[in-house]
Amino acid sequence: MEYLIGQRWVSHADAQLGLGVVVGVDGRRVTLAFPAVGEERTYAMDNAPLTRLRFKDGDHISTVEGVELVVTAVDEHQGLLLYTGLDHHEQEMTVSELELDAFVQLTTPQQRLLNGHFDRHEDFALRVATLQHMHRLQTSPARGLMGSRTSLLPHQVYIAAEVGRRHAPRVLLADEVGLGKTIEAGMIMQQQLLTGRAGRVLVLVPPSLLHQWLVEMLRRFNLHFALFDAERLSEMDESGDGNPFEQEQQVLCSLGLFLDDPERQAQALAAGWDLVVVDEAHHLHWSPQEAGDDYRFVESLAACCVGLLLLTATPEQIGRESHFARLRLLDPARFHDLEAFIAQEEGYRALGDMADALARGEVPADLPSDMDRALPPPELLEQLLDRHGTGRVLFRNTRATVQGFPQRVLHRHPLPLPEAYALAEVDDDARLFPESPYVDDSWLDFDPRVDWLVDTLKAMRPEKALVICARADTAVALEHHLHLRAGIRSAAFYEGLSIIERDRAAAYFADEAGGAQTLVCSEIGSEGRNFQFAQHLILFDLPLNPDLLEQRIGRLDRIGQRGDVQIHVLYLEGSAQETLLDWYDRGIDLFRDSCSAGYLIFTHFEERLRAQLAQRDADFDALLNDTAEFTLRTREELREGRDRLLERNSCRRDVALGLIEEVQSLEDDDTLENYLEALCEAFGVDCEYHSERTQVLRPSEHMLTGHFPGVTDEGTTITFSRERALAREDLVFATWEHPITQEAMDMVHSTELGNAALGTLKLKGVPPGTMLLEALYTVNCVAPRALQVDRFLPLTPIRLLVDARGKQLADLVPHARLNTLIEKVKKHTALAIIKQVQKEVDAKMTLANAIAEERLRDILPAAEARMREELGAELARLEALREVNPSIREEELEYLRYRIDECAVHIRHAGLQLQALRLIITT
Ligand SMILES: Nc1ncnc2c1ncn2[C@@H]1O[C@H](COP(=O)(O)OP(=O)(O)OP(=O)(O)O)[C@@H](O)[C@H]1O
């Protein structure tokens, strides 16, 4: 090998040195300067780990002056290479190799292979596997649904898939209490973030639910929200770094932060969000006369964010009008007329009948005129639901459809009315909450509910009971009494506590060993919290709103409840509470069955009920009968009309079951386990068996990078079993979509790991000394993530195996087979081989590139056709839908048209990327 001063060489022993230049040749020694690292090294010529750097036509080079050229010709002059190329103005220029930038990164497979930077065959195989898995995940129907630590419940999976795949989803998630709206919102967010449809997310929740949300999002979805409270915001203000909302991508805070604070509102509005989520949205104040500050703020947010999820279990808690007002936030164009909305709801019964008939295979005579009667009934049913239902904006699943819920069992506990209460002058409020007029705690001494509570809790020990009362003062007094005077382990949960104190109290109650036996909550504890680990609910009083009562019961009667829910209602005989209990129990039958029309029924009878609460008389039985009859009728109407349609729209079981099956099949085989093991091996992470389908990952001394995603110094225990992950919170649930897997895959994809290898092989029928080149290409489409072009044009790995005569043998010798046959070659032999076959490799690469390009010519039009078919069908559907159901917003249509055009442009410009190259010599 001849060395001349000025030539450029790279060290294949240490790629980090950058590009060296020969600065001295002295007998048998050569000295190189490596300007990128400011070092000089001298080597013995006969075993220097150096390779001459020689660029070729089409390579990108850059000079010390920062000029970038695409090489068009290479000449040699007095032993030095001269590169001619075009800069980005298409100007031609020629530079000597002396002028090349020393910070060269040899990363392409061909450069690395030809310069002697070989990888292990295991790493080569890992790279190929990574690209194949990435491709498979990109095209999976279950994309975005695999990574949540939740049971796969059809109604949730359906909603997550249906809403999560929309661009800019704007929906009201209104499943009945405790059916998992938070989980659905998490699944939707996870999917939107994973697929790039959303990046910036703002979640607004009541203060008492902040931590519960924070924890649920993290442990179930690996979503790291920044929790903003007043303190953190003022610290951020002081730091002078500008708008705090612009400093985080996913923010969780309470709506209260913004009330009466126009400046904060302006900051949040200016920060721009892809998705805004509002929990317990029934609290937003609105009436036809006046909108509250909270409503107006959310309305401003709704106007400038693209996606909006509103969550409420009791959409009509404050009445139909405010239900309408929330729908208006989602789509002001569609929901602009309250009267029309109410009239339309009335037509749902007829639609429900038609849907039933179609489900039975009959085509009803009165089918809407926009529908094509010639279609088969299942398709007509799809169209009917799609075009005439409310499914696009409103999702509501009920216990009746979800099934598997335990019973609610009512226990009435009459107690004598103390004289002090009987004789007191009372108003409406004090009738229901007789202790409320007391400024001190003296009522504890004579109120029989207190002793009952103490005795019952003691008798129940160690079973846990949630106690709910309407007022914070009552909760505090009761808890003090239980705790200090009766020696019952208890905690209070009320609005006077800070958020952290509330969470501490809830955690103390949840603690199985040594925790509180009871938690005494004011009404704020009746909303959103998860207390299903308890089976006893003690209602110290009853609220004067059936939806609030439903929320209270929902704390225990929710997903995850394992036994029947025992509802104990304490009441003072002859008091307004007894009347209210009778009305709820015998009128609405709310203790046995949840009722979405509770508020409607309440408003219908409110006047008569209030009169009976003030003074029960002979009319009460009539009130009970009327209420029961009205309730029956209303439930029936809802079941026949709105709910029936909503249910069909809110969960299509067959679709959901198909998706669940897909997720399960990905989980059940051991591909991920084997793949992660190979990844760990490649990166120097120890993988130790823990128990069935569970491993401990630990950084080893030979860790390749400073960090492997998700692996801590102490070790991270991961399980591949969903069942175990649900039972054991401390284990990481490893799925294809867990950040560990995703980031590790990215680490392989975005670096050169495994992209160049050399080996030998004995192959029957192939003479020794034959050269084979195994090349893997992927389709490289540069496009904004939000367009999701990868749905139509995924990575599409193309594997070629070219022999010396240019024959393509990929199908004959599959990659997996090659992996089992290939043998390692010592580094110096490999370097000797590569020097000899340089020219041949170049020639075969040209050939391989041509074959791959030819394949690409088929792939791109097919991808465009697929995109046009899929998005075109979506567009046609939306256009048809819009004719009859204006809940489709014009922007949705416009965006879809724009997306089709943009996707087409990007698909046409897609190119190939050589991802990995392996040179094989037969022996
Ligand atoms: N698929 C699931 N797998 C496991 N647990 C779940 C699942 N869905 C819901 N849960 C649990 O059930 C409980 C109720 O869920 P969630 O809080 O999402 O309900 P919700 O509809 O928002 O309730 P609320 O109406 O009270 O606000 C929570 O403890 C949640 O963690």
Task: Provide the 10 A C-beta neighbour count for residue 796.
Answer: 22
Distance 191 CA to ligand 1 centre (A): 18
Residue 626 confidence (pLDDT): 96
Task: Provide the 10 A C-beta neighbour count for residue 647.
Answer: 21
3-class SS at 631? Answer: helix
- pLDDT one-digit tens code per residue, 843-902: 888 899 999 999 999 999 999 999 999 889 888 877 877 776 666 677 778 888 999 999
38 belongs to a structural domain: yes
Atom of ligand 1 nearest to the CA of 153: 1
Atom of ligand 1 nearest to the CA of 183: 18
- Does 826 share its domain with 897? yes
- pLDDT one-digit tens code per residue, 378-427: 888 877 877 766 657 889 888 877 877 888 999 999 999 998 888 776 77
d(CA 760, CA 183): 53
Label residue 815 left, alpha or beta by phi (over 0 means left) and psi (-120 to 50 means alpha). alpha
CA distances from 914 to 104, 464, 789 (A): 19, 62, 20
d(CA 464, CA 518): 6
Distance 490 CA to ligand 1 centre (A): 24
**Which residue's CA is the nearest one to ligand 1's atom 5?**
150
724 belongs to a structural domain: yes
Distance 553 CA to ligand 1 centre (A): 14
Total number of domains in the chain: 6
Residue 105 confidence (pLDDT): 67
Residue 57 confidence (pLDDT): 80
**Which residue's CA is the nearest one to ligand 1's atom 28?**
530
Distance 555 CA to ligand 1 centre (A): 10
Indicate whether 734 pLDDT > 90: yes
Distance 172 CA to ligand 1 centre (A): 16
**Which residue's CA is the nearest one to ligand 1's atom 9?**
180
Atom of ligand 1 nearest to the CA of 179: 21
Q: Ligand 1: which of 279, 280, 559, 724 to mutate, most ligand atoms within 8 Å of CB?
A: 559
Atom of ligand 1 nearest to the CA of 209: 27
Indicate whether 832 pLDDT > 70: yes
Atom of ligand 1 nearest to the CA of 313: 25
Residue 887 confidence (pLDDT): 60
Distance 1 CA to ligand 1 centre (A): 71
- Does 98 share its domain with 110? no
Strands 490-493 and 518-521: parallel
Give every CB contact of residue 338 below 8 A, 6+ residues apart in sequence: 288, 321, 324
**Which residue's CA is the nearest one to ligand 1's atom 13?**
559
- Does 328 share its domain with 439? no
Indicate whether 162 pLDDT > 80: yes
Q: Are 345 and 315 in contact, with CB atoms under 8 Å apart?
A: no
| Least confident window among 319-328, 518-527, 787-796 | 319-328
Q: Ligand 1: which of 558, 659, 664 to mutate, most ligand atoms within 8 Å of CB?
A: 558
Residues tagged in the binding site annotation for ATP: 175-182
**Which residue's CA is the nearest one to ligand 1's atom 11?**
559
Distance 180 CA to ligand 1 centre (A): 3
Distance 646 CA to ligand 1 centre (A): 20
- Does 112 share its domain with 67? no
Give every CB contact of residue 77 below 8 A, 6+ residues apart in sequence: none
Distance 532 CA to ligand 1 centre (A): 10
Q: What is the CATH number of the domain that holds 265?
A: 3.40.50.10810
- Does 383 share its domain with 427? no
Percentages helix, strand, coil for the chain (3-state, rounded to 5) are 45, 20, 35
Mean pLDDT of 328-333: 80
Residue type, position 160, single letter: A
Indicate whether 373 pLDDT > 90: no
Distance 544 CA to ligand 1 centre (A): 26
The pTM of the full predicted model, rounded to 2 decimals, is 0.80
119 belongs to a structural domain: yes
Of the pLDDT bands very low, low, confident and very high (cuts 50, 70, 90), residue 782 is: confident
DSSP-assigned letter for residue 482:
I
**Which residue's CA is the nearest one to ligand 1's atom 29?**
530
Distance 598 CA to ligand 1 centre (A): 22
- Does 767 share its domain with 729? no
Mean pLDDT of 712-722: 90
Domain boundary among 323, 356, 389: 389
742 belongs to a structural domain: no
Residue 187 confidence (pLDDT): 97
Distance 149 CA to ligand 1 centre (A): 12
Distance 796 CA to ligand 1 centre (A): 38
Distance 556 CA to ligand 1 centre (A): 11
Atom of ligand 1 nearest to the CA of 529: 26
Residues tagged in the binding site annotation: 175-182
Q: Ligand 1: which of 150, 175, 179, 183 to mutate, most ligand atoms within 8 Å of CB?
A: 183
Of the pLDDT bands very low, low, confident and very high (cuts 50, 70, 90), residue 641 is: low
Q: Are 662 and 140 in contact, with CB atoms under 8 Å apart?
A: yes
**Which residue's CA is the nearest one to ligand 1's atom 4?**
150
- pLDDT one-digit tens code per residue, 809-827: 888 889 999 999 899 988 8
295 belongs to a structural domain: yes
Mean pLDDT of 123-146: 93
Distance 182 CA to ligand 1 centre (A): 6
Atom of ligand 1 nearest to the CA of 726: 4
- pLDDT one-digit tens code per residue, 895-906: 889 999 999 999
Atom of ligand 1 nearest to the CA of 560: 12
Provide residues with CB under 6 Å of ligand 1: 150-151, 153, 156, 175, 177-183, 313, 528, 530, 554, 558-560
**Which residue's CA is the nearest one to ligand 1's atom 16?**
180
Domain boundary among 47, 82, 105: 105
**Which residue's CA is the nearest one to ligand 1's atom 23?**
178
Domain boundary among 736, 760, 789: 736
- Does 306 share its domain with 296? yes
CA distances from 330 to 173, 220, 430, 530, 656 (A): 11, 27, 39, 27, 25
- Does 272 share its domain with 349? no
Please give the structure tokens belonging to residue 246.
């612009």
424 belongs to a structural domain: yes
- pLDDT one-digit tens code per residue, 210-264: 988 998 999 899 999 999 998 899 999 888 888 999 999 999 999 999 988 999 9
Mean pLDDT of 575-590: 93
Mean pLDDT of 614-623: 92
- Does 362 share its domain with 458? no
Q: Ligand 1: which of 530, 565, 729 to mutate, most ligand atoms within 8 Å of CB?
A: 530
Q: What is the CATH number of the domain that holds 503?
A: 3.40.50.300
- pLDDT one-digit tens code per residue, 461-470: 999 999 999 9
Q: What is the CATH number of the domain that holds 15?
A: 2.30.30.140
Residue 397 confidence (pLDDT): 87
- Does 232 share its domain with 266? yes
Q: For a pLDDT cut of 90, what percent of the chain falls above it?
A: 46
Give me the sign of the Cα torsion angle 320, 180, 225, 275: negative
User: Domain limits at 350?
Assistant: 337-389
Indicate whether 25 pLDDT > 70: yes
Atom of ligand 1 nearest to the CA of 185: 18
Report CA dihedral (219, 224, 228, 233) to the nearest 10 degrees.
150
Of the pLDDT bands very low, low, confident and very high (cuts 50, 70, 90), residue 39 is: confident
Atom of ligand 1 nearest to the CA of 555: 26
Distance 673 CA to ligand 1 centre (A): 29
Of the pLDDT bands very low, low, confident and very high (cuts 50, 70, 90), residue 73 is: very high
Indicate whether 525 pLDDT > 80: no
**Which residue's CA is the nearest one to ligand 1's atom 8?**
180
676 belongs to a structural domain: yes
Residue 913 confidence (pLDDT): 87
The overall average pLDDT reported for the chain is 88
Task: Provide the 10 A C-beta neighbour count for residue 459.
Answer: 8
Atom of ligand 1 nearest to the CA of 527: 26
**Which residue's CA is the nearest one to ligand 1's atom 26?**
528
Higher pLDDT, 252 or 49: 252
- Does 561 share its domain with 450? yes
Atom of ligand 1 nearest to the CA of 150: 3
Atom of ligand 1 nearest to the CA of 280: 27
CA distances from 418 to 319, 574, 609, 652 (A): 36, 11, 24, 54
3-class SS at 468? Answer: strand
Mean pLDDT of 357-380: 86
Residue 794 confidence (pLDDT): 92
Q: Ligand 1: which of 149, 177, 182 to mutate, most ligand atoms within 8 Å of CB?
A: 182
Please give the structure tokens belonging to residue 920.
């094989």
**Which residue's CA is the nearest one to ligand 1's atom 15?**
180
Indicate whether 43 pLDDT > 60: yes
Question: Within 13 Å, how many C-alpha atoms sit on residue 85's CB side?
Answer: 24
314 belongs to a structural domain: yes
Indicate whether 353 pLDDT > 90: no
| Nearest residue to 217 (alpha-carbon basis) of 177, 174, 275, 172 | 275
Report CA dihedral (348, 353, 355, 356) to the nearest 10 degrees.
140
Distance 138 CA to ligand 1 centre (A): 29
- Does 760 share its domain with 691? no
Q: What is the CATH number of the domain that holds 700?
A: 3.30.360.80
